[in-house]
């Protein structure tokens, strides 16, 4: 509740206390009631809770307005209902009212967590002089024995319950007095006649007994737990590992940095969203997608932040340690924790950075020494040598993501009310700061292929002979260049994705049979480019149908990390380009799609059709909701605006028998060996 003003915290505290006290006073004065009336009172509270949860989900603060106004008037606090502070106060007011309603429901059932002041007073006076108390009780005459028969008398079990500090503003009972703990600690002083068999525990007693498993809490921690008890009902504990379940069950406060990071990872792998202040259910598909896109950030967080901050209680993370870690973060190599051993933090990230800095220094000295000091060596040559020795470091966007991830862990813990402050708020990255970072790094922007594409088309994959007419290095770049298909969209094509309408051949990009698309608008129908038909794409489709294969490119495999075809294809395609001398930075497969988009834009026609062919979000509501009548012929006419000279490349199905597919220039399966 760090975002609330002190007077607002006091207002919410008094509102909760007043609502509970008013309810208790009414119940104390009420006449006896039937079971039906008691059940109705419970159902009323549950209906109130449903209403408040809906208000929280929708951000509707209206149920809290009048109670806050009335309490503010009583306390003499002025509220500015047009400010952001008011919105935050009203939102917290909804949550307080929800907590109060839950407490009223328990009391309607007859469940009270705290002992009465009278009982606490008796226990305190008993334990004030424990040695004298026992003989006094033994000396009592039989006439003073309890009127209630022993068999019917309830047995009190001493339970270690966190204590609460006494306040001058409340007459409400405190939590159990710490002297109860001393009764537990001295069982030897209890005579045999005082030992009573423990009856079956009620649900209320089980709740109290379970609290004895909690780690001892000081007064301040106990108060914070009482004020903001963990909201474990917002998640399904069965989605978590046994170790994490135990952490949540035994640590209402004090969860460590590593435990918090692991909790976040397990919840996201189970498919939970970002708002843990409300009840959620896991989604396996969402969890799989998160693992593919963000799982690496969680793996880095488990090691990086713990190395520099220590596995301390999460909300006790030292601000200076966090700042030191933030200074180190930009020094991580761009390819950290990937592939090459030299970028893996085997001995920690600090050691990794020190090793890379030393390697950079050695490489720069060696390069300058190789240049020499001859008159022909220019300062530009020396500058290039220094730049070539530089090891690329973390980019601005990636830095922001790593910082945002640890901040989101804190937000998750705060929403679940396992911490009361998020020390990693300092990791927030405003857009202005991110833009400042980007100014100091080489800009990576989308490029269009220039005439170098014809050098690329002159490489072995396009010249034949072909071992398989479905060579991925041949078809996938052409599908990207002439039809604007994304890499994964092209890799996962199957013969069933092709069809025809009014004589025009098309391909459906869709989510089906383990296919993946980037967005909902990526699902689309694209006319097959006439150049691809001329090269034999439809012949390949027919061949695969006869062979009964599920995919056009039968030798493609999915990557282990992301589970996509493009993960492995990208690695092999980059290797192929470097091996055959057709590698230029930025001129990759996605640049083919960028060139397709530029060709459409250069003809200055309907932008709605361009977006549809590209699989982008529609430009307006008309294109989004009323494009059902758009004819395939219109799309075909537009796609024909994209032209590419392919006269220099071979046709996989031309003279197939005479070529006999003997010898091979390139084989996708061995491209990365």
The pLDDT assigned to 65 comes to 92
Residue 180 has pLDDT above 50, yes or no: no
The residue with tokens 């060696």 is 366
Contact (Cβ atoms closer than 8 angstroms) between residue 498 and residue 507: yes
Q: Is 317 exposed, middle or buried (0-12, 13-18, 19+ CB in 10 A)?
A: buried
Residue 415: pLDDT band by 50, 70, 90 thresholds? very high
Mean pLDDT of 582-604: 88
The pLDDT assigned to 373 comes to 82
Residue 207: pLDDT band by 50, 70, 90 thresholds? very low
Contact (Cβ atoms closer than 8 angstroms) between residue 416 and residue 235: yes
Q: Is 326 exposed, middle or buried (0-12, 13-18, 19+ CB in 10 A)?
A: middle
Residue 66: pLDDT band by 50, 70, 90 thresholds? very high
- Tens digits of per-residue pLDDT, 460-498? 999 988 989 999 999 999 999 999 999 999 999 999 999
Residue 153 has pLDDT above 50, yes or no: no
Distance CA(221)–CA(562), nearest Å, equals 42
Mean pLDDT of 223-229: 87
Angle between helices 62-75 and 6-29 (to 10 degrees): 100
- Tens digits of per-residue pLDDT, 633-663? 989 999 999 999 999 999 999 855 433 334 4
Q: Phi and psi at residue 604, in whole multiples of 5°?
A: 50, 50
Task: Tell me the CATH class for 452-670.
Answer: mainly alpha
Contact (Cβ atoms closer than 8 angstroms) between residue 525 and residue 507: yes
Distance CA(552)–CA(492), nearest Å, equals 8
β-bridge partners, 500: 505
Residue 407 has pLDDT above 70, yes or no: yes
Residue 136: pLDDT band by 50, 70, 90 thresholds? very low
Could you tell me which of 159, 151, 122 has the C-alpha nearest to residue 137? Answer: 122
What is the sign, positive or negative, of the torsion defined by CA atoms of 649, 651, 657, 660?
positive
Mean pLDDT of 76-86: 86
Residue 125: pLDDT band by 50, 70, 90 thresholds? low
Residue 444: pLDDT band by 50, 70, 90 thresholds? low
Mean pLDDT of 304-326: 92
Among 13-22, 238-247, 401-410, the range scoring the smallest mean pLDDT is 13-22
Residue 436 has pLDDT above 80, yes or no: yes
Mean pLDDT of 177-202: 38
The pLDDT assigned to 212 comes to 45
Q: Omega of the bond prior to 316 within 30 degrees of 0, cis?
A: no
Domain boundaries of the chain, sorted by first residue: 6-108, 113-127+157-189+205-227, 228-330+395-439, 333-389, 452-670
- Structure tokens given for 140: 């009592």
Distance CA(245)–CA(251), nearest Å, equals 10
Distance CA(505)–CA(534), nearest Å, equals 12
The pLDDT assigned to 639 comes to 92
Return the SS3 of 347.
coil
- Tens digits of per-residue pLDDT, 493-552? 999 999 999 999 999 987 654 455 545 556 888 999 999 999 999 999 999 999 999 999
Residue 167: pLDDT band by 50, 70, 90 thresholds? very low
Residue 253 has pLDDT above 60, yes or no: yes
Residue 219 has pLDDT above 60, yes or no: yes
Instruction: For the chain, give the percent of residues with pLDDT over 90.
Output: 40
Distances in whole angstroms, Cα of residue 145 to Cα of each of 137, 138, 140, 142, 148: 10, 11, 8, 5, 9
- What integer best gives the mean pLDDT of the chain? 79
Rounded to 5°, angle at Cα 372 from 369 and 375: 160
Distance CA(256)–CA(238), nearest Å, equals 21
Q: Which long-range contacts (CB under 8 A, 24 or more apart) does 563-571 make?
A: 563/288, 563/292, 564/292, 564/488, 564/491, 564/516, 565/488, 565/491, 565/492, 566/487, 566/488, 566/491, 569/472, 569/476, 569/487, 569/491, 570/487, 571/672
What is the sign, positive or negative, of the torsion defined by CA atoms of 196, 199, 202, 208?
positive
Among 47-56, 220-229, 332-341, 603-612, the range scoring the smallest mean pLDDT is 332-341
Residue 593: pLDDT band by 50, 70, 90 thresholds? very high
Distance CA(50)–CA(549), nearest Å, equals 53
Residue 209 has pLDDT above 70, yes or no: no
Residue 128: pLDDT band by 50, 70, 90 thresholds? low
Could you tell me which of 522, 526, 496, 499 has the C-alpha nearest to residue 511? Answer: 522
């Amino acid at each position: 509740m760090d975002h609330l003003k002190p007077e607002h915290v006091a207002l919410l505290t008094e509102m909760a206390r007043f609502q509970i006290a008013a309810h208790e006073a009414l119940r104390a004065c009420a006449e006896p009631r039937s079971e039906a009336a008691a059940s109705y009172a419970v159902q009323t509270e549950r209906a109130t809770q449903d209403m408040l949860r809906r208000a929280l989900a929708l951000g509707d603060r209206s149920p809290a307005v009048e109670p806050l106004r009335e309490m503010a008037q009583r306390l003499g606090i002025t509220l500015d209902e047009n400010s952001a502070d008011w919105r935050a106060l009203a939102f917290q007011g909804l949550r307080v009212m929800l907590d109060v309603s839950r407490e009223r429901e328990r009391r309607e059932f007859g469940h009270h967590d705290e002992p009465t002041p009278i009982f606490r007073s008796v226990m305190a006076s008993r334990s004030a002089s424990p040695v004298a108390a026992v003989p006094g009780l033994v000396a009592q005459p039989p006439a003073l024995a309890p009127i209630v028969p022993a068999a019917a008398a309830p047995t009190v079990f001493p339970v270690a319950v966190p204590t609460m500090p006494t306040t001058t503003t409340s007459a409400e009972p405190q939590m159990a007095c710490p002297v109860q703990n001393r009764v537990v600690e001295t069982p030897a002083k209890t005579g045999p006649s005082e030992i009573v068999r423990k009856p079956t525990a009620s649900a209320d007693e089980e709740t109290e007994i379970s609290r004895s498993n909690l780690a001892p809490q000081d007064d301040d921690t106990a108060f914070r737990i009482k004020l903001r008890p963990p909201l474990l009902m917002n998640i399904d504990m069965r989605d978590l590992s046994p170790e994490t379940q135990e952490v949540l069950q035994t640590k209402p406060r004090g969860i460590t940095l590593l435990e918090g990071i692991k909790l976040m990872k397990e919840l996201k792998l189970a498919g939970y969203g970002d708002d843990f202040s409300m009840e959620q259910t896991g989604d396996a598909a969402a969890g799989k997608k998160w693992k593919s896109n963000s799982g690496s950030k969680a793996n880095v967080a488990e090691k990086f932040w713990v190395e520099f901050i220590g596995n301390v209680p999460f909300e006790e993370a030292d601000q200076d340690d966090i700042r030191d870690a933030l200074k180190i973060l930009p020094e991580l190599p761009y390819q950290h924790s990937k592939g090459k051993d030299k970028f893996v933090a085997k001995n920690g990230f600090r050691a990794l950075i020190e090793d890379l800095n030393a390697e950079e220094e050695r490489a720069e000295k060696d390069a300058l020494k190789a240049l020499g000091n001859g008159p022909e060596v220019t300062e530009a040559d020396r500058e290039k040598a220094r730049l070539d020795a530089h090891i690329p470091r973390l980019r601005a966007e990636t830095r922001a993501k790593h910082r945002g991830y640890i901040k989101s862990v804190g937000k998750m813990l705060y929403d679940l009310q396992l911490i009361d402050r998020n020390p990693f708020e300092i990791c927030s990255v405003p857009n202005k700061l991110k833009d400042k970072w980007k100014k100091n790094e080489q800009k990576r922007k989308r490029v269009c292929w220039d005439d170098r594409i014809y050098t690329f088309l002159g490489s072995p994959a396009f010249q034949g002979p072909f071992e398989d007419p479905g060579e991925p290095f041949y078809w996938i770049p052409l599908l990207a260049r002439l039809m604007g298909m994304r890499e994964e969209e092209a890799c996962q094509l199957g013969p069933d994705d092709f069809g025809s309408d009014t004589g025009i051949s098309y391909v459906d990009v869709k989510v089906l049979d383990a296919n993946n698309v980037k967005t909902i608008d990526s699902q689309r129908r694209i006319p097959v480019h006439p150049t691809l038909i001329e090269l034999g794409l439809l012949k390949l489709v027919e061949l695969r149908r006869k062979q009964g294969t599920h995919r056009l490119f039968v030798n493609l495999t999915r990557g282990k990390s992301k589970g996509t075809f493009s993960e492995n294809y990208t690695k092999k395609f980059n290797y192929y380009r470097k091996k055959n001398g057709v590698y230029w930075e930025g001129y990759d497969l996605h640049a083919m799609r960028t060139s397709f988009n530029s060709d459409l834009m250069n003809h200055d026609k309907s932008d709605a059709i361009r977006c549809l062919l590209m699989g982008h979000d529609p430009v307006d509501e008309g294109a989004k909701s009323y494009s059902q009548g758009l004819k395939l012929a219109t799309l075909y006419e537009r796609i024909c605006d994209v032209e590419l000279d392919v006269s220099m490349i071979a046709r996989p199905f031309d003279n197939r028998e005479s070529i006999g597919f003997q010898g091979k220039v390139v084989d996708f399966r061995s491209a990365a060996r």
